[in-house]
Amino acid sequence: LGVSLAGVTEIADGDFSRPAGRPGTDVFDLVGQPERPVVTLKQVHGTFVQVVGGDCGGEAGEGDGLASRDPKLAIAVRVADCVPVFLYDVENAAVAAVHAGRKGTFDRISLRAVGVMEQRFNTVPDALYAVVGPSAGPCCYEVSEEIAGDFRDAGYPVSGRNLDLWRANAQQLELAGVSPSRVH
């Protein structure tokens, strides 16, 4: 157990969103890890990051991020066009998984996730590794002119009416103190 990894799956790989039964079993087999309880959230496009551990399993309430130091748990967020952000604190063996949609990104969920890890796990942001995962990209994430203007006014990268949520989340991580060389 002590291995931390982040991954993105789709239904054909055995994703974690299957209802009853043993969700994610295929995923554990795929990465050669023992099966363990998977913790998810009722995602609400907000900025709450929940810390989980112990005998937790299943749905941990409402929110859009999970953080843990418990190697006996797997944490998972579900995304479609939204951005998954994964954080790994090598020094404190802590991890976080964040669902960064348009609203969560605008409200700085990635920055908040780093803050939660600092407070709960004594994480030093410069020691974090981060992965900004696949989602709707800057070529294709078109929004209304009003929303694009709000993002532009907030200092986020916008091209015409297209948002770059990858770069916006990377900017937040860097603002939180994560070294740009550790944001992938």
Q: Give the pLDDT confidence of 47-92 residue by residue, as tens digits.
A: 999 999 876 666 778 999 999 999 888 888 888 899 999 999 999 9
Could you give the dihedral angle defined by the CA atoms of residues 159, 162, 167 and 168, in that order, rounded to the nearest 10 degrees?
Answer: 110
Encoding tokens for residue 11?
A: 């239904």
* pTM score: 0.87
pLDDT in tens, 88-105: 999 999 999 999 999 999
Cα(11)–Cα(56) distance, integer angstroms: 24
pLDDT (0 to 100) of residue 20: 43
Helix or strand or coil: residue 118? helix
